[in-house]
Structure 1
Amino acid sequence: MHHYGIEFGRIQYSSHALRKLFADIGGGQELAIRNDPTDICAIGVIHPADGTLLIVSAIDENTPPISFHELILKFTNVLNVTVGLELKIRRALVDTLFRVPAR
């Protein structure tokens, strides 16, 4: 837990209840988290003192209602496209530097 909230699955979450918990126990605490793997819009945080479940929403209100699996696939696809584009740019640069005919 940090001053801005919690980061889980590359998404930041925060709520009024979580900020109050941060004020009560401080940052750097490890908390038990529960999540619905089919929805990344919110997570549950177990209050360490009384065991109640705090529902904590994603900070970004535009977080799509997708599963963590879909998020991983989307992120992986973006990386693959980025890496593929980077390789094409590097090849073009090397071809230009060494005057290799276009492929």
Structure 2
Amino acid sequence: MGNRRYDSDFKREAVRMVVEDGLGVREVERSLGITHGVLKGWVQKHRDHQDAAFVGRVAAESPEAELKRLRKENERLQRERDILKKAVAIFSTDPHRYSGS
């Protein structure tokens, strides 16, 4: 199976369906015939680069823009870590409760 190329307008519309319309990534992938996992990358690229996401090659970020993007990513990763810590705490309180034993 070859790699299919999508034009910028198609990518922007698919991302818009997720970001603005609130549709699920998998739902949009299925409805547009996009290979599983591709749209998730497009959405992340849009979040990282906004309007420059699908305009040929992405221009180099200014140091200020990079710092802002990295701070935002750091906050997201910290939230994810905190959620995982809570999940570990919940599942480690009674190991037999969730093991099916």
TM-score (norm 2): 0.40
Higher relative contact order (CA 8 A, sep 6+): 1
TM-score (norm 1): 0.40
